Amino acid sequence: MLQDLNLPRRLLLGPGPSLVHPRVLRAMAMPLLGHLDPIFLGLMDDIQTLLRWLFATTNPFSIAISGTGSAGMEAAVVNLIEPGDAVIVGINGVFGARLATLVERCGGKAIRVEAPWGRIIEPEAIASVLQRSGPMKAVAMVHAETSTGVWQPIEPVGRLCRDYNALFIVDTVTSLGGAPVEVDQWGIDACYSATQKCLSCPPGLAPFTLSDRAVAAIKNRRTPCQSWYLDMALVSDYWAEQTRAYHHTAPISMLYALREALRLVEEEGMVIRHARHRLNSDALIAGLIALGFDPVPLLDQRLPMLSCVSLPASIDDAAVRARLLTTYGIEIGGGLGPLKGKVWRIGLMGESSTEANVLTLLNALEEIGIQSGWLSTPGAALQAAARVYSCAATS
C-alpha cells in the first residue's frame, strides 16, 4: 500500500511555479460545486471582472482557459491562424520559437524575425518586414521571454499592427501581475498568461483575452478551428453570461484558487506590486553581480520577475543547483536550449518576490561558494543587496 505523501517545503525561486499564498490554498479546499451551479457561475463573473482589470482591457472576452500557459499560447494561434496565413513571429528565445512552430502546425507561414538570445527584438525590425512583405494576418511576440529574462517592448509593435491591419498576439505568461500589461493601450488583440508565475496560483489555468477584432476574425474563419477543446467560439458560450452552454467540465477548485489569487493582487494594487518586483530584482542582481554573475539581458531590458545570469567558469551549474535544493530547500532554474549549463534563471514572482527570499538565496550561495572554494570573502552579495534596499527606504 502506498504511504501518505510527506512532501518537503521548497523555496520556489525558479522560473515557475512560484510560492502560493495560504488563502489560495484554502480556497482550493472549499467544497466542490457543479460547473453550472448558479453560485459557481457568479464566481466566474468575478474572475472575468478581475481579469479585465488585470489585463487593463474592456474586452468582453476575458476568461481563464482550462490548461496551463502553453494552452493559452495554443488557443491564441489555433483560433486566429488558418492555412496560408502569413504571421510575423518575434524569436529571441525558446517561447518565440514555440509560437512559430504552432503557426506552422496550423498551416500558416511563420516569418521569423530573430534577435540574439538575451536581446530584444527591435520594433524597427518588425516594421521593416511589414513594409516589404505582403499582407500579414498577425504579428506574434513574447513580452517576457522566460528562457532569457528579456523584457520585450510591446506598445510600438502594437501601433505597427494597427497601421498594417495585422492582429497582434502577445505572450504575457511570465509578466502578467509582475510588470505592466496594457492590452487596450498597447493594441493587443490576443493576450494569454499563466496562473503559476506572478499570480502565485497553482499551474492549471491560462488567463486569456481577445479584442473585438480577434473575436470577429474567429467568427469569420474560412476553416474550422483545428482544436475542439480550445475552440474559443465554443468555449465562449460557456463563459458568456447570456448562454452558459456546456462545453467541458471546468477545473472548479482551480477557479476558486484563481479568484482568490486575483483578489490578493487587487488588494496589493498594481503600482505597489510592480514596484515590489522591481526592487527585489534590483537587490538580487546587485548581489549576484557581487558574486561574479553577469546578467544576460542588458540592464534596461531585463525582467523584474525573472533574472537570467551567466555562470562564472568556476561554478558547476548542476552541482550548485542540486546543493541549493537538497541542503537549503531552494529551487532555481537552469538554462534552456543553447544556454543549458551556462546560465541560471531565478524567479522572484508573486509570493516569491520578497526581501527575505532574496537575502536567503544570496546567503546560501555565499555559504556554498566558501565551502566550494569559488568565493573567498563572504558578505559582499548580502551587502550589495542591503545597499539597494537601504537606498529604496530612504528615497
Q: What is the DSSP annotation of 324-337?
A: HHHHH-EE-EE--G
* CA distance linking residue 100 with residue 152, whole number of Å: 17
Cα-Cα end-to-end distance for the chain: 59
DSSP symbol at 9: P
Task: Report the top-level CATH class of 22-267.
Answer: alpha beta
pLDDT tens, per residue, the chain with 395 residues: 888 989 999 999 999 999 999 999 999 999 999 999 999 999 999 999 999 999 999 999 999 999 999 999 999 999 999 999 999 999 999 999 999 999 999 999 999 999 999 999 999 999 999 999 889 999 999 999 999 999 999 999 999 999 999 999 999 999 999 999 999 999 999 999 999 999 999 999 999 999 999 999 999 999 999 999 999 999 999 998 778 888 999 999 999 999 999 999 999 999 999 999 999 999 999 999 999 999 999 989 999 999 999 999 999 999 999 999 999 999 999 999 999 999 999 999 999 999 999 999 999 999 999 999 999 889 999 999 999 999 999 87
For domain 269-394, the CATH superfamily is Aspartate Aminotransferase, domain 1 (3.90.1150.10)
pTM recorded for the entire structure = 0.97
Which grid cell is 137?
Answer: 494576418
* CA distance linking residue 382 with residue 158, whole number of Å: 41
111 within 8 A of 132, measured Cβ to Cβ = no
Q: Do β-strands 109-114 and 86-91 pair in parallel, antiparallel, or remain unpaired?
A: parallel
Domain definitions of the chain by residue range = 22-267, 269-394
Which grid cell is 331?
Answer: 529551487
What is the dihedral sign for C-alpha 26, 28, 34, 39?
Answer: positive
Strand, helix or coil at 91?
Answer: strand
